Amino acid sequence: MKEYNKLVRNRIPEIITGDNKKPITHVASEKEFENALVDKLTEEVNEYKSSGDLEELVDIMEVVEAIGYLKGVSLGELNKLKRKKANKRGSFSKRIILERVE
């Protein structure tokens, strides 16, 4: 038996059952869900840093979207906020590295 105690995608228990194993799960409270999403975001970012795999970027996006919904913000609203911030402070498209400020 392996312990995980982490947030997983909705179909993971079904997939585990299909492998003739028994998943033990529970539904998170709102606070536990929020904490689990933050942990999942860190996990997915670390996986992307290690692998550079685009699938990990998809996982990061999924977690960000879930955090937004938990906070009552749709993906469309997050994108609107993203554009607003980009208009005010710019994006990362010019690849600028700030070395120091003198």
Digit-coded pLDDT (tens) for 17-52:
999 999 999 999 999 999 999 999 999 999 999 999
pLDDT classification of 1: cutoffs 50, 70, 90: confident
94 burial level (CB within 10 Å; 0-12, 13-18, 19+)? exposed
CA 96 → CA 45, 90, 91, distances in Å?
Answer: 21, 11, 10
Q: What is the pTM of this model?
A: 0.86
For the chain, the first-to-last Cα distance in angstroms comes to: 56
Split at pLDDT 50, 70, 90, the class of 94 is: very high
* Eight-class DSSP state of 92: S
**Rounded Cα distance, 49 and 51, in Å:** 6
